[in-house]
Structure 1
Amino acid sequence: MSFEVVAGVDGSAPSEAAARWAAYDAYRRGCGLRLVAVTRDTRAFGDDAPQGMPGFVPVLREHLADLLPELAITCEAVPGTPWSVLASAGRRRGLLVLGSRGPGGPAGLTGSVALRAATEAHCPVVLVRPGAEDAEAGRGPVVVGVEPDRPCDEVLDFAFAQAARCGAGLRVLAARDRGTSAGEPGLGEAVARPWDTYPDVRVTSEVTGRSAVSALVEVSRTAALVVLGRRIRRLPLAALRLGPVAHGVIHHAHGPVVIVPHP
């Protein structure tokens, strides 16, 4: 199965922002974009929308096609529970992009839907708020939040690849827990391997004494994208599966955030 960028859409402003962000990302990747609307109608469509399909979908597809004529865009209506359908849409080899309602507001398509999808998806999930979706909306660096004592290869790989595609710098940010001495030497070792793969990416690293959520929310004001990891665990509460840092940043970030699942 080839790589595909998937955007969940529901006709709202956040989902339209997600679709635009997804379109630009798919264009940079050289892959297709699939718009997914959760509905009772099971028919898929391409150039023309059959009767009964959500009317906002073909309108949105036409708008994106005008922006990026070379981008291959398909659309699909899938029946089922919204968060479950969307969590499955990106599969393992893909990227799922959903709308966020902005700092302090509920995350996602219909309140908790995107938040739940982000906890269940096996692929990276990007949350985009209105105003941060255009290709030139954020000229800042890609920022990746890591744990200084155990940076994750999957999260760093995603951040380096994204920075390389966007022609952006990469800022590696870690929060030092009180009473620990973990610092930049560990970050340097973790960054060295993906940097060999993407030698043209401009990298800076920093260990801050602030809380991770506070530091990442602040840098999200100017970041092109904030990259965070989600450890795959089986816990009873969906919110806890994200971890407290990712959960806090999702709710308060000023720009797009991506959650990358990893073992």
Structure 2
Amino acid sequence: MSRNVIVGLDGSPESRAAAEWAAREAKLRGLPLRLVHVWEPVPEPMAQAPLLGAETQAHWSERIPRETAEGLRLRHPGVHVEMEQISGRPMDALAEAAKDAELLVLGSRGLSGIGGFLVGSVGMAVIAHTETPVVLVRAGEQAADEHEADPAGIPSAATAYRPVVLGLDTGHPDDAVIAFAFEEAARRGTALRVVHGWNLPPYFAYGLPADPELNAELGRQEAAALAGVLRPWRQKYPEIEVVEVSRCGSPANHVIDASREASLVVVGRRTRRSPIGAHIGPVTHAVLHHATAPVAVVAHD
């Protein structure tokens, strides 16, 4: 099967925003876009109810994906758009459909009144159980949101992309996550901002007096570790401007802060093949819910 970008579609504002983002990403990658609409069968007694009759089912299972595909073809004429309807549980069907894709894009409701996402159970389950990179896109996300402001102070699709932000754990760096971030920055012709957060040693929690010299030395060591991880990647992608940010404090908070000026945030998720237990780490979980830019989650061993 040919590689493509897949987007999960259910007709909601967040899935429509995800479809638009996915179309732009498919154009950047030179790949077809595949719309996947998952129809979860309705129990027979409910299916006979007037509000859930044949006409309503036809609307959701046929009209919405067809109209969405037609709109995307008009707005993104260089992108080949396909559509597919699948019956089953959305989390299972999307994870299965994503196996042959380069990227799976899902919508996520924005939190009312503040920046960030409201990631539903389907989105979290798909992220936790697929090894394909997954991007979460908020409702209302627009092309201009990925770009710098013009001279009048207004973001525009005609201006340069904002940086790509990578949240990096220097203790357990993974090539798949780093490569994904560099490739996304290269496609956008923008800078890569690599954010590393670190915490003071545990004994500082016992009320020992602050030692500015020791703090400074720890900061230098962490910055050197970050530089060491990125050195071969700088050589591999010499055209990309890399900004290294190493700060004491919560890694999640630093990545969330950086997301305010990002076109895309990239974080990792360690692959756990056990059917039980947590599958999304605390930093990635926090970034998913509070970042103000689309978030790509890349699974790694």
Task: Determine if the TM-score, normalized by the shorter chain, exceeds 0.5.
Answer: yes
1:102 is the counterpart of 2:141: no
The answer as to whether partners of 2:117 and 2:138 remain within 8 angstroms in 1 is no
Distance in 2 of aligned mates of 1:168 and 1:30: 18
Larger radius of gyration: 2
Match of 1:120 in 2: 129
**Superposed displacement of residue 253, structure 1:** 1.3
Distance 1:105 1:206, change over 3 A: closer
Match of 1:191 in 2: 230
Deviation digits for residues 125-172 of structure 1 (CA, Å, limit 9, x no counterpart):
0000023242x3222210000112232211110000000001111000
What is the CA RMSD across the aligned residues, in angstroms? 1.9
The correspondence for 1:158, drawn from 160, 175, 180, is 180
Distance 1:31 1:117, change over 3 A: same
**Superposed displacement of residue 113, structure 1:** 0.7
Distance in 2 of aligned mates of 1:144 and 1:224: 11
SS in 2 for 1:123: coil
1:144 is the counterpart of 2:152: no
Match of 1:206 in 2: 245
Distance in 2 of aligned mates of 1:96 and 1:141: 21
Match of 1:247 in 2: 285
**Superposed displacement of residue 187, structure 1:** 1.7
Listed as ranges, the gaps of 5+ residues in structure 1 are 42-50
Q: How many residues align?
A: 249
The answer as to whether partners of 1:5 and 1:95 remain within 8 angstroms in 2 is yes
Match of 2:71 in 1: 63
Distance 1:100 1:174, change over 3 A: same
TM-score, structure 2 length as denominator? 0.78
- Aligned sequence identity (%): 39
**Superposed displacement of residue 84, structure 1:** 1.1
Match of 1:260 in 2: 298
The correspondence for 1:132, drawn from 141, 148, 164, is 141
Distance 1:189 1:2, change over 3 A: farther
Deviation digits for residues 209-240 of structure 1 (CA, Å, limit 9, x no counterpart):
121121111211221011000000145656x2
Distance in 2 of aligned mates of 1:119 and 1:40: 20
TM-score, structure 1 length as denominator? 0.88
SS in 1 for 2:243: strand
Match of 1:8 in 2: 8
The answer as to whether partners of 2:255 and 2:287 remain within 8 angstroms in 1 is yes
**Superposed displacement of residue 54, structure 1:** 2.9
The answer as to whether partners of 1:224 and 1:255 remain within 8 angstroms in 2 is yes
Match of 2:47 in 1: none
Distance in 2 of aligned mates of 1:236 and 1:84: 13
Deviation digits for residues 60-114 of structure 1 (CA, Å, limit 9, x no counterpart):
111111111121110000111101111122215410000011246531xxx3111
Listed as ranges, the gaps of 5+ residues in structure 2 are 42-57, 148-161, 203-217
Distance 1:93 1:55, change over 3 A: closer
The answer as to whether partners of 2:40 and 2:89 remain within 8 angstroms in 1 is no
Distance in 1 of aligned mates of 2:140 and 2:261: 13
Match of 1:172 in 2: 194
Tell me which protein shows more helix as a share of its residues: 2
The answer as to whether partners of 2:13 and 2:140 remain within 8 angstroms in 1 is no
The answer as to whether partners of 1:7 and 1:22 remain within 8 angstroms in 2 is yes
SS in 2 for 1:114: helix
